[in-house]
Amino acid sequence: MQKLYRASLGFKSQKAAKKPAFGTNVINSLSILITKEKILNSSFSNLPVPLKELQAINENLSAALVTALAGNQLDLKVAVIQWDAAFTLTANYVSHLANGDENIINNAGFTSTKNETVATAKALADTKFKAAVNGYAYSVS
């Protein structure tokens, strides 16, 4: 059975305070990939959310974390929702471009995870079941 690597979406469950550091790592990693890939004409430069927008969304979340300390939780909630949506789109796009290659996913700053590419067949359930309790046979159908 062949394994397919995808970008993990585990970052969505991180606390809001840890997301900007993760976002900065992804942005820096993607910047390096785009610079390298311009030579190879790859599709990393066609991200669904451009790097400048990712950077702005990441900075917006950082600013919302500071204002949340002053009591403004609404801005933080909105910023987290925007951040999650942008980085989820980017992670899915990287997974698509990687086509199962773990190194590409890791080089883009995401964590790779494995999924099976071939579904396993379920075992057929026997429709007639017989059980013995205290020496007496019972049949269930």
Residue, of 49 and 126, whose pLDDT is higher: 49
**Considering the entire predicted model, what is its pTM?**
0.75
Chain segment 63-96, per-residue pLDDT in tens: 999 999 888 899 999 999 999 999 999 999 998 8
Rounded to the nearest 10 degrees, how much is the dihedral formed by the CA atoms of 70, 74, 79, 84? 130
Helices (H), 11-137: 19-40, 51-69, 73-98, 102-107
What is the pLDDT confidence band of residue 39, given thresholds at 50, 70 and 90? very low
Residues contacting residue 30 through CB under 8 Å, at least 6 positions apart: 44, 47, 51, 54, 90, 108, 109
Chain segment 100-138, per-residue pLDDT in tens: 888 888 989 999 887 644 455 555 655 666 666 666 666
